[in-house]
Amino acid sequence: MTQIKICGITRLEDALVAIDLGVGALGFNFYPRSPRYISIRKASYILEKLPPFVTKIGVVVDFGPAREVRRLAQVLGLNGIQLHGNESSDLARSLKPCLVLKAFRVTEDFRVTSLQHYPASAILLDGFVAGKFGGTGKTIDWSLARRASRFHRIILSGGLTPGNVSEAIRVARPYAVDVASGVESSPGKKDFRKMRMFVVSVERADREAHS
């Protein structure tokens, strides 16, 4: 079964609807330059109101030394950290036992073999747009993601929508899919209908894969 993460949560109502739809993981973006940025105070308010058994991921971009990243996770009760900048493998390794996801922006010269030694629980592959870290709405080569799964557990991201996620799963066969802009009415504001359609499309792809 393909796991689903909805990223860029900034409103409690969006988080609760996503959970009701069966989404297993929510992402909270602590990168100040992101249009989906959320303050620690606001994130704390949302997180403390969430039900149990929901995976809560903090998204950071070159946030600082490992002790600061660990403190963020501890203060907010996060289940894991998504490193979305230029973080080294040494930093990722020093965050354990915290769950670590590492995002790689896929450029034209990207090599899937570069993933095999990165110490993360899963690798997120995202579209590359210069100067932006995630939420770009740009798709990647889904067949590349499938090749990458030989070296790591893959979370497919980048330009996914209710309209293309079924095909993306069919081609890439990822462990999970991650969506932000594809289920929004505006940056940081989720569209409940789009979220529902996205989940239905993922479930359809999984049924077809096992039929």
> Which residue numbers are catalytic?
7, 126
Report the alpha-carbon angle 181-182-183, nearest 5: 90
Residue with tokens 């602590």: 30
C-alpha pair distances (Å), 143 with each of 40, 108, 149? 37, 14, 10
Phi first, then psi: what are they for 68, rounded to 5°? -75, -35
Of 45, 60, 59, 54, the closest CA to residue 7 belongs to: 59
**CB contact set of 9 (below 8 Å; sequence gap of 6+):** 15, 18, 26, 27, 28, 36, 38, 46, 190
Sorted by sequence, the CB contacts under 8 Å of residue 104 that are 6+ apart come out as 110, 114, 115, 123, 124, 125, 126
**Nearest CA to 18 among 41, 51, 42?**
51
Query: Whose CA is closest to 22, among 47, 46, 4?
Result: 4
